[in-house]
Structure formats: structure tokens, C-alpha cells
Amino acid sequence: MEQERLIAEMRRLAIAAGARIMEIYEGPDFEVKVKSDASPVTEADEAADALISAGLRAAFPDVALVTEEQAASHGQSVTSFLIVDPLDGTREFINRRGDFTVNIAWVEDCMPVRGIVYAPARGRMFYTLPDGRAVEEAGPFDPDTPGAQTPLRVSQPDNAALMVVASKSHRDQATDDYISRYNVRDMTSAGSSLKFCLVASGEADLYPRLGRTMEWDTAAGHAVLAGAGGRVLRFDDLTPLAYGKPGFENPFFIACAPGVDLVAGPE
């Protein structure tokens, strides 16, 4: 995989998909359907998926592609692949809360090593450079010419006063119970993959996820966080979260800056 071309294509397609999503978001009411797993899907999910998938298949025809909105892609057994969530945070989109993202990632040997997370309604875009380092780009976003980039680096956490980010739509009592085992200075909430990016930028130290996620939900944010020096670990044994699992389903996990003194598993 030629890294400069990969990053340029991922960035271009994310911006184009974001523009299409915003056309629908800012327009009149849109149709919301329910998928077989009871999760919602909108015309924006489908339009962004069609745009990104066509672009990736044209640019990288010999590379495996996994995307949330194409169930036929979920039966693959692969260790290196492109993976897409064309609109992560559909509930945020439906409720017009803005915390939704376009996620595109490259997984190599079961680890996400390159990725982009674009939040078009928030005007924030985070991605890895060809060498794997993570940056946030300042808008406005030109598909062909990157703007000013700020390097991302995780915090040096104070374990006596941690900043924690949690899910806006999926937070529950189990998550609150786990967070209570830490010394927390403050908490914030965010939707979609923005939680990974808040840890990557040093705006938060810890993001625990005690709930069902799929690899397309996490791969791009994971790559960005890793590029900023962060970690994503399984909740049960604190080993690195790997990809290409059967059905592309994740266990519970913890994303954090390396200096956080982690607590594994339930009490």
C-alpha cells in the first residue's frame, strides 16, 4: 500500500462524503430506516457509503474492503483491509446534534495503522500522515490541498485528576461504575469516533467503552490515537485491541494515554 496515495484518497473521499452528508443534514426531513440489528440507517449513510466505496475500489481494486453498510463484506476473513463507517453516529445525525463522523481506516496485520475521522458538522478533521503520525487539520477543507496541520499528542495524565470522555448516546451504569474506580477531575461526552480524537489531542486522558461496537466504528479513531502515542486495549485483559475478528465485532475496550494507571475488567 503506497502511503501518500492512500492518505490523499482517504482524505479526499472523507471530505466529499462529508459534503454529501451535510447536504442531507441541512435539508428537509430525511427518511430513517431500521436495519436487521435494530440500528438506524439514513439516506446519508447510504449516499456516503456509495461514494466512499466506489472511490476506494477504483483507487485500490486489489485491496479487501469492509464497510458497515454492505453486509456482504462482513463475511470476509482478512488481516489487512480497508474499513469504512460512512456515517458514524447515526443517532447524533438523526437528532441533529452534530457529533457524527466519516471514518476510513487501513488495517495492516490486524492493527489499524492509518485512518481519518472527519466531523463535518463540527468542522474538525483528524488523520494520520503517511508516516503514521497523527494531526488535526484546520478548515476550510479543500479535497486536493491540505490546510494547516497541528500535530496530535496524548496527554501526560495526572492519575489523581483524570479527564474522562464517555459516549453521548450509549453511556450506562456499568460505564459509570467503572469510571468511579478512577480519580476523575472532570468528564465530558462526545459522539462517534470523536472520543478517540479527544484522547489523541490531549483533551481527555481516558475513554472506556463497555458496550457493543464494531471494527468500522473504531478503526479510524484507533489509528489516529495510536499515531498520537495512545493505546486501545481490551477491557478484560488490557491486551491490544486487534482487528479482523470474526464478524468484525469488538469486545469492550479502553482507549487512553499511556500514563493512565488502568484497572482491568469488572470488579
3-class SS string, the chain: CCHHHHHHHHHHHHHHHHHHHHHHHCCCCCCEEECCCCCEEEHHHHHHHHHHHHHHHHHCCCCCEEECCCHHHHHCCCCCEEEEEEEECHHHHHCCCCCCEEEEEEEECCEEEEEEEEECCCCEEEEECCCCCEEEECCCCCCCCCCCEEECCCCCCCCCCEEEEEECCCCCHHHHHHHCCCCEEEEEEECCCHHHHHHHCCCCCEEEECCCEEHHHHHHHHHHHHHCCCEEEECCCCCECCCCCHHHEECCEEEECCCCCCCCCCC
pLDDT for res 267: 53
pLDDT for res 92: 87
Same domain, 141 and 13: yes
Same domain, 22 and 116: yes
Q: What is the pLDDT along the chain (267 residues), one digit of tens a residue?
A: 799 999 999 999 999 999 999 999 998 877 777 776 667 778 999 999 999 999 999 999 999 999 999 999 999 999 999 999 999 988 888 888 889 999 999 999 999 999 999 999 999 999 999 999 999 999 999 999 999 999 999 999 999 999 999 876 667 788 889 999 999 999 988 877 999 999 999 999 999 999 899 999 999 999 999 999 999 999 999 999 999 999 999 999 999 999 999 987 765
Q: Decide if 262 is inside a domain.
A: no
Query: Which amino acid belongs to residue 173?
Result: Q
Q: Decide if 127 is inside a domain.
A: yes
Same domain, 202 and 104: no
Query: Which amino acid belongs to residue 2?
Result: E
Query: Which amino acid belongs to residue 46?
Result: E
Same domain, 199 and 143: no
CATH code of 221's domain = 3.40.190.80
User: What are the grid coordinates assigned to 125, written together?
Assistant: 478533521
Is 89 labeled as ligand-binding?
yes
Same domain, 10 and 95: yes
Structural domain boundaries enclosing 104: 3-151
Is 237 labeled as ligand-binding?
no
pLDDT for res 97: 87
Strand pairing class (162-167; 231-234) = unpaired
Same domain, 64 and 132: yes
Q: Decide if 156 is inside a domain.
A: no
Is 225 labeled as ligand-binding?
no
Is 88 labeled as ligand-binding?
yes
pLDDT for res 29: 78
State if pTM tops 0.85.
yes
Is 37 labeled as ligand-binding?
no
